[in-house]
């Protein structure tokens, strides 16, 4: 069920109902993917979960703008400071706790949000809530690499997922390959950000297919179902 479609009379929700919320951003994804890729993929993940477990979850409206530091200089990227994002997300979740929801599954679509969402999970624990931040590309990295070895930001994995989601939001005629992610130990500066991502991407998008995307979505779905069971059982 979807929160924004409920009426006041539908509340309170069942005690073990899990709030599921996408947290993404608007950001450059190479020259071939839509700016909203980090929103499109979580929305598709959650839609699949709602189809199979709709009575166990309440799908909350997404948080579609995030902390987009590394690629903020690329046209179309919008950066929300971490502190602002945390305060907003926490305020929304505090309202949901007041509504009686004590279980949260955050489907994170953007690496820049990860630390912030994890901090919100910690803060929610003090309110008696149980929550988890699921970052699909990170939590399932080994399994995804077996399906899409040229993964990366706008790489084989993300591009495959956008292709599988449909709507023609991946222009494969513009797909290219980018450098490897430099890692956290490299010196960070404004100039280094531009050097690291000359085409706003990493990995190799040319290897992407919709079939690979569907296989990754199936993998993700099995994992989100397991996370849902753990949250409802806790």
Return the CATH number at 28: 3.40.50.10310
pLDDT of res. 62: 97
Tell me how far apart the alpha carbons of residues 175 and 177 are, in angstroms, rounded to a whole number: 7
Give the mean pLDDT of 79-100.
95
Cα–Cα–Cα angle for 110, 111, 115, rounded to 5 degrees: 115
- Is 61 within the bounds of a domain? yes
Q: How many domains does the chain have?
A: 1
Q: How would residue 9 be classed by pLDDT, with cut points 50, 70 and 90?
A: confident
Asked if residue 58 belongs to a domain, the reply is yes
Per-residue pLDDT at 10 = 86
On average, the pLDDT of the chain sits at 92
pLDDT tier at 187, thresholds 50, 70, 90: low
In a domain, 183, yes or no: no
Tell me, yes or no, whether 69 lies in a domain: yes
**Domain region containing 106:** 3-178+188-229
Q: Give tens-digit pLDDT for 133-151.
A: 999 999 999 999 999 999 9
DSSP alpha helices (H): ranges in the chain?
A: 37-53, 82-98, 114-125, 136-139, 141-147, 156-165, 190-196, 210-233
DSSP 3-state percent helix, strand, coil across the chain (nearest 5)? 50, 10, 40
Share of the chain above pLDDT 90, in %: 79
154 in any annotated domain? yes
Cα 24 from Cα 179, distance rounded (Å): 23
Q: How confident is the model at residue 16 (pLDDT cuts 50, 70, 90)?
A: confident
Going 119 to 122 to 127 to 132, the CA torsion angle's sign is positive
| Residue 19 within any structural domain of the chain | yes
**How many other C-beta atoms are found inside a 10 Å radius of the C-beta of residue 6?**
12
Cα 91 to chain centroid, rounded = 19
Is residue 52's pLDDT more than 90?
Answer: yes
Residue 23 lies in a domain: yes
pLDDT tens for 199-208 read 899 999 999 9
Backbone φ and ψ of 151, nearest 5°: -70, 165
Domain contains 170: yes
Least confident residue range of 6-20, 124-138, 173-187: 173-187
Distance CA 33, CA 24 (A): 15
């Amino acid at each position: 069920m979807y929160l924004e479609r409920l009426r006041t009379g539908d509340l309170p929700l069942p005690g073990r109902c899990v709030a599921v919320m996408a947290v993404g951003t608007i950001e450059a994804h190479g020259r071939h993917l839509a700016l909203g890729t980090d929103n499109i993929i979580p929305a598709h993940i959650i839609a699949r979960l709602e189809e199979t477990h709709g009575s166990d979850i309440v799908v909350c409206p997404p948080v579609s703008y995030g902390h987009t530091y590394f690629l903020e200089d690329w046209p179309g990227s919008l950066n929300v400071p971490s502190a602002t994002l945390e305060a907003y997300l926490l305020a929304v979740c505090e309202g949901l706790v007041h509504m009686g929801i004590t279980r949260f599954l955050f489907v994170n679509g953007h690496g820049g949000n990860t630390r912030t969402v994890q901090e919100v999970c910690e803060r929610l624990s003090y309110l008696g809530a149980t929550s988890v931040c699921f970052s699909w590309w990170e939590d399932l990295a080994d399994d995804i690499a077996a399906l899409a070895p040229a993964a990366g930001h706008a790489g084989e994995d993300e591009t495959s997922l956008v292709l599988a989601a449909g709507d023609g939001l991946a222009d494969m005629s513009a797909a290219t390959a980018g450098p490897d992610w430099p890692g956290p130990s490299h010196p960070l500066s404004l100039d280094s950000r531009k050097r690291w991502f000359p085409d706003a991407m990493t990995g190799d998008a040319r290897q992407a297919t919709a079939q690979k995307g569907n296989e990754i979505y199936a993998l993700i779905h099995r994992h989100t179902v397991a996370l849902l069971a753990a949250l409802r059982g806790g």
